Structures are given as structure tokens and as C-alpha cells.
């Protein structure tokens, strides 16, 4: 199974609505299910320059995964970005998440000069947590009962990765 990575485009709105509706994806996000293509069109047209959003696409250019970095807007936090990653159910475990993480870290470390990448993952999303750990993310804490999932409240794990440029602070 082959795929390629590119920047997200407004034309990806319908594909993003499909991705966000996948049961395994919506279960592990804070997003509402059944978002429309029109909602996504609006989001993608209003995309901030501080959001660096990538998609992985299959051979037919259908979006199979999405990932990105959103740089924090506060002047004293511009070295920090929130990271997000979604992979369609049938593509999980096939290297798509790993490829997107590699692309994001390359962008972060070598082009954006970010020091801190942070994320939250639902505690039961062990596959995602293991992926983040492989890329150097460390657990920083737990946010208790913060997400309603399948009718019950679940905890999220706070994770972060610090990357100092050569010769920088350790």
C-alpha cells in the first residue's frame, strides 16, 4: 500500500469530513462526529499561517491521515506547538502515522525552529501513545475525565518532546 504526504488544501474538505467520521478516529479526538464537508471547507479556508497541516493520501489522492503543528500565538510561547495526528482506521499500523510524525519533526526541527511539541492523547489510545514515545515524547501528566467517549468520561495523557538545536540549552 503506497501513500504520499502533502500540505492540506481547501479541496480536501470532503475527505477530511470522511476521515473525521471514521469510528476509530472520532473515538480518540475531542471533535464531534458527523461534521459536514461545508464545516471543513470553512475551517480550511480560515487556516491560520501558524498551523502547519499535512495529509497522507493513498494512490488515488484520497486523504487517509492528517497531522499538523499549531504554533502557539503568544509572543513568549512561539517556540511551542500543539501536535495532532489522525489516521483512518484501515490505515492504522501501516506506517502512515510514523511517516507523518517524521515529516512533522523534520519541519519542526529544521525549518520552524520549534523547541517544544506538546499533545494530549486519550489514555486508552495505546497505539498512538506508543508511537509518540518512539519519537521522544515523554509523559508529563494526566488530565482526569476530560473527554466524553462512548458515554463515559476518560482521562487524557499530556505528552511533550523538547528538541534543542545543536549547541542550545539542554
pLDDT digits (tens, 9 = 90+) for 7-62: 999 999 999 988 888 777 777 777 777 778 888 888 888 889 999 999 999 999 99
The pLDDT-based confidence of 84 (bands split at 50, 70, 90) is very high
What single-letter DSSP state applies at residue 165?
P
**Phi/psi of residue 17, each to 5°?**
-60, -40
Q: Please tell me the predicted confidence (pLDDT) of residue 167.
A: 63
What single-letter DSSP state applies at residue 89?
G
pTM for this structure?
0.89
Kindly report the CATH class assigned to 2-116: alpha beta
At 111 the three-state DSSP class reads: helix
Q: Is 15 left (phi over 0), alpha (psi -120 to 50) or beta?
A: alpha
104-163 pLDDT, tens digit each: 999 999 999 999 999 999 999 999 999 999 999 999 999 999 988 888 999 999 999 999
The pLDDT-based confidence of 170 (bands split at 50, 70, 90) is low
59-76 pLDDT, tens digit each: 999 999 999 999 999 999
Average pLDDT over residues 66-92: 95
Instruction: Tell me the average pLDDT of the chain.
Output: 91
The domain spans of the chain are: 2-116
Q: Give 122's contacts (C-beta < 8 A, 6+ positions apart).
A: 28, 147, 149, 154, 155, 156, 157
C-alpha cell at 161: 518532546
Amino acid at each position: 500500500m503506497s501513500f504520499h504526504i502533502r500540505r492540506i488544501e481547501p479541496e480536501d474538505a470532503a475527505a477530511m469530513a470522511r476521515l473525521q467520521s471514521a469510528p476509530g478516529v472520532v473515538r480518540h479526538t475531542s471533535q464531534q462526529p458527523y461534521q459536514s464537508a461545508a464545516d471543513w471547507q470553512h475551517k480550511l479556508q480560515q487556516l491560520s499561517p501558524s498551523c502547519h497541516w499535512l495529509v497522507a493520501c493513498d494512490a488515488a489522492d484520497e486523504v487517509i491521515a492528517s497531522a499538523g503543528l499549531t504554533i502557539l500565538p503568544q509572543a513568549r510561547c512561539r517556540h511551542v506547538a500543539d501536535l495532532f495526528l489522525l489516521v483512518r482506521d484501515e490505515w492504522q499500523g501501516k506506517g502512515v502515522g510514523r511517516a507523518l510524525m517524521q515529516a512533522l519533526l523534520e519541519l519542526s526541527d529544521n525549518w520552524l525552529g520549534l523547541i517544544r511539541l506538546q499533545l494530549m492523547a486519550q489514555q486508552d489510545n495505546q497505539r498512538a501513545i506508543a508511537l509518540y514515545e518512539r519519537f521522544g515524547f515523554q509523559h508529563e501528566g494526566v488530565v482526569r475525565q476530560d473527554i466524553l467517549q462512548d458515554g463515559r468520561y476518560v482521562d487524557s495523557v499530556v505528552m511533550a518532546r523538547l528538541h534543542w538545536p545543536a549547541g542550545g540549552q539542554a
